[in-house]
Chains A and B, each alone.
Chain A
Amino acid sequence: MIAEEPRVDASRVTELAQSLETELARLIVGQKALLRDTVIALTAGGHVLLEGVPGLGKTVLVRSLGQALSMSFARIQFTPDLMPADIVGTNIIGEDDGRREFHYQAGPIFANLVLADEINRATPKTQSALLEAMQERTVTVGTQTRPLPSPFFVLATQNPIELEGTYPLPEAQLDRFFFKILVPFPPEGDLLEIARRTTGESTPQLRSVADAGAILAAQRTAREVPIAEHVLRYAARLVSATHPDRTELDSVRRYVRWGASPRGLQTLVLGGKVRALLEGRYNVAFDDLNAIAQPALRHRIFLQFEAEADGITADRIISEILEHTAKEPADH
């Protein structure tokens, strides 16, 4: 006999997300979009690639998230000499009752929250070890496969400058990130506030607002949010429009090499559902899709060299797609 599922309380998800945002905002100055998108990805069960110059608080954000969520947190600093075993763990010889035998020494990836700092500095082999774990949520060492803790949330960072000696993530591996969030340089007002908060005698300490169970429940609830057929079609049109052979936009045909994968559509819909809950709504709206379209699609659109030459970014292409994709039913 199957036990009846407990009734979903969507309002609790909303409260959780809002309290998490509030708590993070105590330490992270400004960056509301960054916080919102991070919470959305966390609630949707996806991983995030943060891109920004050093010193913008990327690591602070992940650490703060760990504090606010009462979940295990691990940080891996990616370097060229980092090996896969340094991430997923390895079998080592140990003594037990006078007998020597191999014991599995778990790597830092066995945590709820993992910060993969400067992921593009590790070799592709090492990157693959992490990205495989992100996708499968299991780690195989030797002959044994071990599940990662749940929830499992990876925040990877990369620096858009100082690209020498780095290994850019291949397209297929980028696609495994739920969101790619750009961390902008804070405005002057936020800079002042950062200075005030971090150069004083003490820094704010975050309180825990949720645990792993709450996050998992929120992830399940988010998937129950309904989406209307025409909204779903809109999401599909957005994704289709990123493909040069399926769009009517000249800029896409000219500058885009490959469009977003079906995983991009999944991200749009799932992210839209979470955002709807965060907005206190129980259905996905066009606005939800539009709001997350940039972080959901920017790393899934691959541009031609001509785009780089003309200074065209994926964000600009997405903005144009959003602007030209019809929301209103066509026959009215």
Chain B
Amino acid sequence: MTSLEAILTELRRAARRALGARYAAHALVGAVAWVAAVLTLARLVPFERRLEVAALGIPVALAIAAAIWAIRRPSAGLLMAVADIRLGLKERLSTAWERRAESGPLDDAQRRDALQQAAHARLPAAFPIRVSRGEATLVAILAIFALALALLPNPMDQVLAQRQADRVSQARAAKAVVDAKKKIADSEKPSPKDAQIQKILQDAQAKIREADSPRKALESITPAEQQVQKLTDPGTPALQSSAQNLANALSGTSAGRSAAQAISSSPAKGAQSVRDLASQLQSLSPKDREELARALAKASQQAQNSQMRDSLSKASSSLQNGDAASAAQALDDVASQLDSLQEQESTDQAVAAAINGLEAARQELAAQADRDANGQGGQANAGASPSAGASGSGTGNGNGNGNGTSNGNGNGNGNGNGNGNGNGNGTGGTGSNGSGTGSGTGATSTERVYVPGQPVPGQSENDPTPLGPGQDVPLSPYTQVIEAYQQAAVDATDQSLIPGSERDLVREYFSQLGEQRATR
């Protein structure tokens, strides 16, 4: 060994190596402890991306250890002192280094002695690279613990899966609302209230997306439906009835037959045809005028809309009095009312489309909320369609119904028609005029209502349908048949020429039943 500086260089190199190993061990302990802590925490609270967060601790711990290792520079005196102790040099090196600039009587001899003794020592041995047994044990224990935590089933996984399913469900529900908006926007007969409807749907969509859970999201649907419902004109059914009566009355006249057909086709066409008829009154024969006046009078008597009734009455009386101009004017009023009817029907269609979208969203959310309540929320998947009542028919058409919720907030229940695959796994489609208004109380009754029926698809043969008290016919839970009943009723009302208010009455009835079912 040539000099104290050379000794110091060698000691410093050895110390850097030893410190590096020691800090690496510390970092390993820290990293494994971090991983174990994160995985432990993930068992106590739902923790998404826990593996990423746990893994992040490893490079962070190593980086911190590396930074400290790079910053920390043991002093020369310290290195010498430690080497003295560990190599048994009896403080020769540290004394020599400390007095390297001194020239006392014994300093030279002391330095020579120190260098001589250091030459016989293996300097790197002063800073051995060694792993603390305690640290190694700690790492092993923590690693085993962390591995066990990672491999054993985590009860929070179900919660996380449920959250994911909730998000998917809410996204689907929001998409259903978006589809409804698109449908309204693409409508061939735009309504003056389309903008308001779009706004309501937009708000509902945002609330559904932002809700904490499907159950919360459900709470935003009923208010939206009520807002949309308010946009409908309650006089529309009366006006429709009056228009239909007019068409029926005119169909028996030679002059008004084409107008009758046009009215039956659509109010807008009917309005144009009535205007044409008004312009042709002068050229009609007296007989035709007489015939037309009677038809208008009859329609006037049957009209439920007062304006329509007045206009028809005036047109009829004017024709009978030979005042063609006044009659034409009255028919023009009738045409205006038909135009108004056309607008109201367009609005109703937009409202219906909006409600269908909201109902689809409700079904989606309600199904997910039910799964959450049953502890199966994490099992939702792409096929989470309303399939409770899906049953394949002979033609391959199935009906699907969603479930209401039991949140006690009065949620309605929508219906939809869809195309099944013949195996009874039909996917709920979009109902034509499905609507629902909530009035449920959220009671938690466990009562089950039974109605006579056959075992439903999916019901096990080994699970005999329970009989009601005093009944000798198989009974099915009404929740399993109500969808079919509801669908049949809605289809019947849609296909029948009955007033809209009656159709709403039917829908409301089933909605209330749905609410009760949901609360159970």
Residues of A within 8 A of B99 (CB): 226, 228
25 inter-chain pairs at a CB distance below 8 angstroms, sorted by A residue, are A5-B105, A8-B106, A221-B105, A224-B104, A225-B106, A226-B95, A226-B110, A227-B95, A228-B94, A228-B98, A229-B77, A229-B98, A281-B113, A282-B106, A282-B110, A283-B96, A283-B110, A283-B114, A284-B91, A284-B95, A285-B92, A287-B90, A329-B81, A329-B82, A332-B82
Determine whether the beta carbon of B85 is less than 8 Å from that of A327: yes
* Minimum C-beta distance from B96 to chain A (A): 7
Residues of A within 8 A of B82 (CB): 328-329, 332
Interface of chain A, main secondary structure? loop
Cβ 8 A contact of B78, one of A226, A281, A329: A329
Residues of B within 8 A of A188 (CB): none
Q: A227-B95, A287-B90 are in contact. Are A282 and B81 (CB under 8 A)?
A: no
Q: Closest chain A residue to B74 by CB distance?
A: A332
Interface centre among B94, B104, B105 (most CB of A within 10 A): B105
Determine whether the beta carbon of B113 is less than 8 Å from that of A282: yes
* Minimum C-beta distance from B123 to chain A (A): 16
Q: A226-B99, A226-B110, A332-B78 are in contact. Are A283 and B92 (CB under 8 A)?
A: yes
Q: Closest chain B residue to A273 by CB distance?
A: B106
Determine whether the beta carbon of B90 is less than 8 Å from that of A283: yes
* Minimum C-beta distance from A128 to chain B (A): 38
Interface residues of B in 90-132 (CB under 8 A from A): 90-92, 94-96, 98-99, 102, 104-107, 109-110, 113-114
Chain B residues close to A by CB (< 8 Å): 74, 77-78, 81-82, 84-85, 90-92, 94-96, 98-99, 102, 104-107, 109-110, 113-114
Residues of A within 8 A of B78 (CB): 329, 331-332
Residues of A within 8 A of B114 (CB): 283
Determine whether the beta carbon of B90 is less than 8 Å from that of A10: no
Assembly CA distance A230 to B95 (angstroms): 9
Residues of A within 8 A of B95 (CB): 226-228, 231, 283-284
Residues of A within 8 A of B77 (CB): 229-230
Determine whether the beta carbon of A285 is less than 8 Å from that of B91: yes
Determine whether the beta carbon of B91 is less than 8 Å from that of A231: yes
Assembly CA distance A226 to B96 (angstroms): 9
Interface residues of A in 3-32 (CB under 8 A from B): 5, 7-8, 10
Q: A327-B85, A328-B82, A332-B78 are in contact. Are A226 and B90 (CB under 8 A)?
A: no
Determine whether the beta carbon of A283 is less than 8 Å from that of B81: no
Assembly CA distance A232 to B107 (angstroms): 17
Determine whether the beta carbon of A328 is less than 8 Å from that of B81: yes
Q: A281-B113, A328-B85 are in contact. Are A230 and B94 (CB under 8 A)?
A: yes
Residues of A within 8 A of B91 (CB): 228, 230-231, 283-286
Assembly CA distance A230 to B81 (angstroms): 8
Residues of B within 8 A of A331 (CB): 78
Interface residues of A in 301-332 (CB under 8 A from B): 327-329, 331-332
Assembly CA distance A78 to B81 (angstroms): 49
Residues of A within 8 A of B110 (CB): 226, 282-283
